[in-house]
Structure 1
Amino acid sequence: MTRVFFASELEGVATWWRIERRDGITLGFTSHDRDMMFDGVLHRAAPGVLPSAIRKTSALDGDSAEMQGPLSHDSIAASDLAQGRFDGARVRIGAVDWETLERIQLYAGSIGTVSEEAGGFSADLLSAKEQLAADPVPRTSPTCRASFCGPGCTLSAARFTSEAAVSAVDQDRNAVTFAGIDPQLHTFGSIRWLDGPQIGLTMEVVAVEGDELLLDTPLDSGTVPGMRAILRQGCDHTLATCHARFANAANFRGEPFLPGNDLLARYPSAQ
Structure 2
Amino acid sequence: MKTLAPALQVHLDDGTTTLAWCWRIARADGASFGFTDHDRTLRFDGTDFEPESGLTASEVRSGSDLSVDAQDAEGVLTSDRITETDILDGRWDNAEVEVWRVNWADTSQRLLMRRGAIGQIRRGRLAFVAEVRSLAHVLGQTVGRTFQASCDAALGDARCGVDLEDPAYKGTGAVIDMLRDRAFTASGLGGFAAGWFTFGTIEWTSGANAGRRTEVLGHDVTGGVAILTLLEPPVRGIAEGDGFTIRAGCDKRIETCGGKFANTVHFRGFPHIPGQDTVLRYASRDGGHDGGVL
TM over 0.5: yes
Q: Work out which of the residue numbers 5, 21, 29 in structure 1 matches 2:27.
A: 21
- Equivalent residue runs for 1:2-21 within 5 Å: 2=5, 4=8, 7=12, 8-21=14-27
* Equivalent position of 2:292 in the other structure: none
Report the Cα distance in structure 2 between the residues aligned to 1:33 and 1:20, rounded to whole angstroms.
22
Report the Cα distance in structure 2 between the residues aligned to 1:113 and 1:239, rounded to whole angstroms.
35
> Which stretch of structure 1 is more off in the superposition, 165-174 or 204-213?
165-174
Do the aligned residues in 2 keep the contact of 1:16 with 1:93 (CA within 8 Å)? yes
Report the Cα distance in structure 2 between the residues aligned to 1:91 and 1:61, rounded to whole angstroms.
18
Do the aligned residues in 2 keep the contact of 1:33 with 1:47 (CA within 8 Å)? no
* Equivalent position of 2:180 in the other structure: 172
Distance 1:129 1:218, change over 3 A: same
- Equivalent residue runs for 1:20-169 within 5 Å: 20-46=26-52, 49-55=55-61, 59-102=65-108, 103-117=110-124, 119-136=126-143, 138-150=145-157, 152-156=159-163, 158-159=165-166, 164-169=172-177
Give the secondary structure class of the aligned counterpart of 2:255.
helix
1:70 offset after TM fit, Å?
3.1
1:253 offset after TM fit, Å?
1.5
Using the size of structure 1 for normalisation, the TM-score is: 0.81
Distance 1:10 1:226, change over 3 A: farther
Two-structure CA RMSD over aligned residues (Å): 3.3
Report the Cα distance in structure 2 between the residues aligned to 1:263 and 1:226, rounded to whole angstroms.
53
Do the aligned residues in 2 keep the contact of 1:48 with 1:69 (CA within 8 Å)? yes
* Equivalent position of 1:255 in the other structure: 270
Give the gaps of 5 or more residues in structure 1.
Answer: none
AA of the residue aligned to 2:178 = D
Report the Cα distance in structure 2 between the residues aligned to 1:159 and 1:37, rounded to whole angstroms.
47
Do the aligned residues in 1 keep the contact of 2:171 with 2:188 (CA within 8 Å)? no
Report the Cα distance in structure 2 between the residues aligned to 1:95 and 1:196, rounded to whole angstroms.
42
Do the aligned residues in 2 keep the contact of 1:165 with 1:226 (CA within 8 Å)? no
1:207 offset after TM fit, Å?
0.8
* Equivalent position of 1:213 in the other structure: 228
Report the Cα distance in structure 2 between the residues aligned to 1:30 and 1:199, rounded to whole angstroms.
32
Alpha-carbon displacement from aligned partner over 1:124-182 (angstroms, at most 9, x marks no partner): 12222212112435442221011112353244455578684523241516224555444
Do the aligned residues in 2 keep the contact of 1:23 with 1:200 (CA within 8 Å)? no
- Equivalent residue runs for 1:190-209 within 5 Å: 190-209=201-220
Report the Cα distance in structure 2 between the residues aligned to 1:35 and 1:212, rounded to whole angstroms.
51
Using the size of structure 2 for normalisation, the TM-score is: 0.75
Distance 1:189 1:94, change over 3 A: same
Distance 1:120 1:219, change over 3 A: closer
Distance 1:158 1:25, change over 3 A: farther
Total equivalences in the alignment:
271
Report the Cα distance in structure 1 between the residues aligned to 2:181 and 2:59, rounded to whole angstroms.
45
* Equivalent position of 1:224 in the other structure: 239
AA of the residue aligned to 1:252 = F
Report the Cα distance in structure 2 between the residues aligned to 1:194 and 1:186, rounded to whole angstroms.
17
Report the Cα distance in structure 2 between the residues aligned to 1:250 and 1:218, rounded to whole angstroms.
36
Report the Cα distance in structure 2 between the residues aligned to 1:99 and 1:165, rounded to whole angstroms.
56
Query: How much identity, in percent, do the aligned residues show?
Result: 30
1:187 offset after TM fit, Å?
1.7
Report the Cα distance in structure 1 between the residues aligned to 2:184 and 2:113, rounded to whole angstroms.
44
Report the Cα distance in structure 2 between the residues aligned to 1:167 and 1:76, rounded to whole angstroms.
30
Q: Which has the larger radius of gyration?
A: 2
Report the Cα distance in structure 1 between the residues aligned to 2:144 and 2:34, rounded to whole angstroms.
37
Do the aligned residues in 2 keep the contact of 1:174 with 1:215 (CA within 8 Å)? yes
AA of the residue aligned to 1:175 = A
Report the Cα distance in structure 1 between the residues aligned to 2:29 and 2:66, rounded to whole angstroms.
30
Report the Cα distance in structure 2 between the residues aligned to 1:16 and 1:249, rounded to whole angstroms.
51
